[in-house]
Amino acid sequence: MAAAPVWSVDPRTGKQREQVAVEATRQEVDQAVRSAHAARHSLADRAARAAFLRTAADRLDEAAAHVIEAADAETALGPGRLTGELARTTYQLRSFADIVDEGAFLDVIISHADDTQTPPWPDLRRYKVPLGVVAVYAASNFPLAFSVPGGDTASALAAGCPVVVKVHPDHPATSELCAAALHRAAEETGIAPDVVTLVHGFDAGVELVGHPLVAAAGFTGSVRGGRALFDAAAARPRPIPFHGELGSLNPVVITEAAAAERAEQIATGLAGSMTLGVGQFCTKPGFVLAPASAAGDRLVKTLTHEVSEVEAGILLDHRMREAFVTGVTERAALPGVEAPVTPGSGGEHTVGAGFLTVDAERLTGEGAHDILLEECFGPVTVVARYRSDDEIEAVLARLPGNLTATVHLATAEETDPAGRGAALLTALTPLAGRVLVNAWPTGVAVAPAQQHGGPYPATTSTSTSVGATAIERWLRPVSYQGTPAALLPPELRDDNPLGLPRRIGPQRG
């Protein structure tokens, strides 16, 4: 059987641009994993891998024109957004280089021998070691920052783990360009290029998660695809950690006082956030609880105006366009659902932004519109109008896990620690990994305190895929007991030759 071709497709026309590669066979996936595994030792030296990450960022920056041109041609995300995404991507690579240099991620803990403890302590020295080959499943909606050179790859390499990337079919040409930049950087810094290896094709992705030498996986994508791979990872003879970011509704609660104070400003912010990047962010606010009041009416009026001004946009591929049109049509047809601006087909290849409204009471009890509480990828949100605080709580209780949860409060009057704002923060915390006040969830800072990961289905683990602590996903602790100084890894020696931050345990437990 001939190898299946992998085409780069222009979503603006639906036409094939060029054949980029062929789908990997089972043998080729096996070869890719074995090559990556064999290359792992070249990541052992921390200084070398930090240099590799920085050089990779430099090479990507140098290739910016080509990379952005290819990415725009394949994704229609536009040069402006893609320029920003590349800057974020290279910043992320350099950040992980800094994290590797600093060494806190090694989580060194030393407990000296101590006969006064119960039972007595031997000399124990613990740090973290890389898990092994990481399978990275690239995202459709971030051809750079969550794909070949993205956060999963950067954090895994920083941890000392080679990666095999399952390329997303929406941007194979961009992926190959990025891989070439990473490979050049590897060669320049004495790292084996096979520490980053690509495979194309759906079947290759399934094969990859089951490969005996794959030690962990990172995924960004749909609930359906992510869950299937999660299940496969768990069903292996030797299960592996599967860190998947699957789907998120990202609820927003707007209090009556906030709406009364600034309905128009909130509506304008919401319109911008929900339609940013044609509504294709995993942090898009897809569900809004707004008061069924005059202030709430003002909010809906401004939202109607703002969203109707948004130009039709191009989704990442035609399958997504179909899913969006079907999804919004199904939702708009529900009893009691209205569409102040009808989302849907905007032309042969485009979609129009819109939003739906519904009484919050339709979302609880018998015959509730459960589908309105599921993510619909694209430029649409659902505004549920509530009549009481109890109705807010009742709806929140029905929400699945989310990446983010947002509350808009009146600037001054709702910041009493014993008041409504505090109660809402408490109610939103169990629902999400990131809780925002008077802000919008799109835009995810690459910062140490970031948490981009929330309760299932937002994430299949308790980890984050953005920020410094994303590196924790690819490590496991090892403790050395009674080991002669000369045989200890330098990270664990008493003289701390590498100058690492460490915890030396006077503390018991």
Distance, CA of 148 to CA of 179 (rounded, Å): 7
3-state helix, strand, coil in the chain (%, to 5): 45, 20, 35
Q: Give the DSSP H or E segment for 402.
A: strand 402-408
Catalytic residue (one of 74, 85, 178, 282): 282
User: Candidates 134-142, 198-206, 337-345, 479-487 — which segment interacts with a copy of itself by CB under 8 A?
Assistant: 479-487
Our CB check for a copy of itself shows the closer of 7 and 456 to be: 456
Minimum CB–partner distance for residue 125 and a copy of itself (Å): 6
Q: Which of 439, 496, 498, 500 binds a copy of itself (CB under 8 A)?
A: 439
Considering the rule CB under 8 A, would residue 25 count as an interface residue with a copy of itself? Answer: no
Q: Which two three-digit tokens encode residue 432?
A: 């999400």
* 445 touching a copy of itself, by CB under 8 A: yes
Total binding residues toward a copy of itself, as defined by CB under 8 A? 85
Per-residue DSSP letters for 103-165? -GGG-EEEE--BTTSSSPB--EEEEEEE-SEEEEE--SS-TTTTSTTSHHHHHHHHHT--EEE
Site for a copy of itself in 62-91 (CB under 8 A): 84, 87-88, 91
Sequence-distant (≥ 6) Cβ neighbours of residue 330 within 8 angstroms: 371
Task: Work out how close the CB of 324 gets to a copy of itself at its nearest, in angstroms, rounded to a whole number.
Answer: 25
Give the shortest CB-116-to-a copy of itself separation in angstroms.
11
Site stretch for a copy of itself (CB under 8 A), options 134-142, 305-313, 387-395, 425-433: 425-433
Stretch that binds a copy of itself, among 6-14, 25-33, 291-299, 476-484 (CB under 8 A): 476-484
Comparing CB distances to a copy of itself, the nearer of 296 and 441 is 441
Which is closer to a copy of itself, CB of 22 or CB of 129?
Answer: 129
Say what angle helices 64-75 and 46-62 make with each other, to 10 degrees: 70
Task: Kindly compute the dihedral angle of the four CA atoms of residues 446, 81, 141, 308, in this order, to the nearest 10 degrees.
Answer: 120
287 DSSP β-pair partners: 251, 382
Q: State which H helix or E strand residue 273 sits in.
A: helix 256-275
The residues, any chain, with a CB within 8 Å of residue 8's CB and separated by 6 or more, are 16, 17, 18, 19, 20, 70, 73, 74, 171, 172, 173
Known catalytic membership, residue 18:
no
Q: Which of residues 197-236 bind a copy of itself (CB under 8 A)?
A: 230-231, 234-235
- Of 22, 228, 260, 437, the one binding a copy of itself by CB under 8 A: 437
Contacts of 41 (CB under 8 A, 6+ apart): none
Q: What are phi and psi of 291, to 5 degrees?
A: -70, 145
Site for a copy of itself in 117-156 (CB under 8 A): 117-122, 124-126, 129, 131
Which residues inside 236-265 make contact with a copy of itself, applying CB under 8 A? 238-239, 241
Q: Interface with a copy of itself includes 49 (CB under 8 A)?
A: no
Out of 13, 329, 388, 481, point to the residue binding a copy of itself (CB under 8 A): 481
What is the secondary structure of 299-336 as a DSSP string? Answer: HHHHHHHHHHHSPPEE-SSHHHHHHHHHHHHHHHTSTT
Look up 178 and say whether it is catalytic: no
Nearer to a copy of itself, 169 or 244 (CB): 244
| Cβ proximity to a copy of itself, 126 vs 200, nearer residue | 126
Query: Closer to a copy of itself at the Cβ: 91 or 329?
Result: 91
Residues 6+ apart with CB under 8 A from 495: none
Stretch 389-418 residues interacting with a copy of itself (CB under 8 A): 401, 415-417
CB of 203 to a copy of itself, least distance (A): 23
Asked if residue 16 binds a copy of itself (CB under 8 A), the reply is no
Smallest separation (angstroms) from a copy of itself to the CB of 414: 9
| Long-range pairs of 76-85 with CB within 8 A, sequence gap ≥ 24 | 76/10, 76/11, 76/12, 76/313, 76/314, 76/315, 76/316, 77/143, 77/277, 77/316, 81/277, 82/143, 82/144, 85/142, 85/143, 85/144, 85/145
List the structure tokens of 206.
């399934």
Q: Looking at 245, 256, 414, 491, which residue is catalytic?
A: 245
Positions 307 through 336 that interact with a copy of itself (CB under 8 A): none
Each residue 84-123 as x (binds a copy of itself by CB under 8 A) or -, in order, gives x--xx--xx-xxx-xx--x------xxx--x--xxxxxx-
Residues designated catalytic:
245, 282
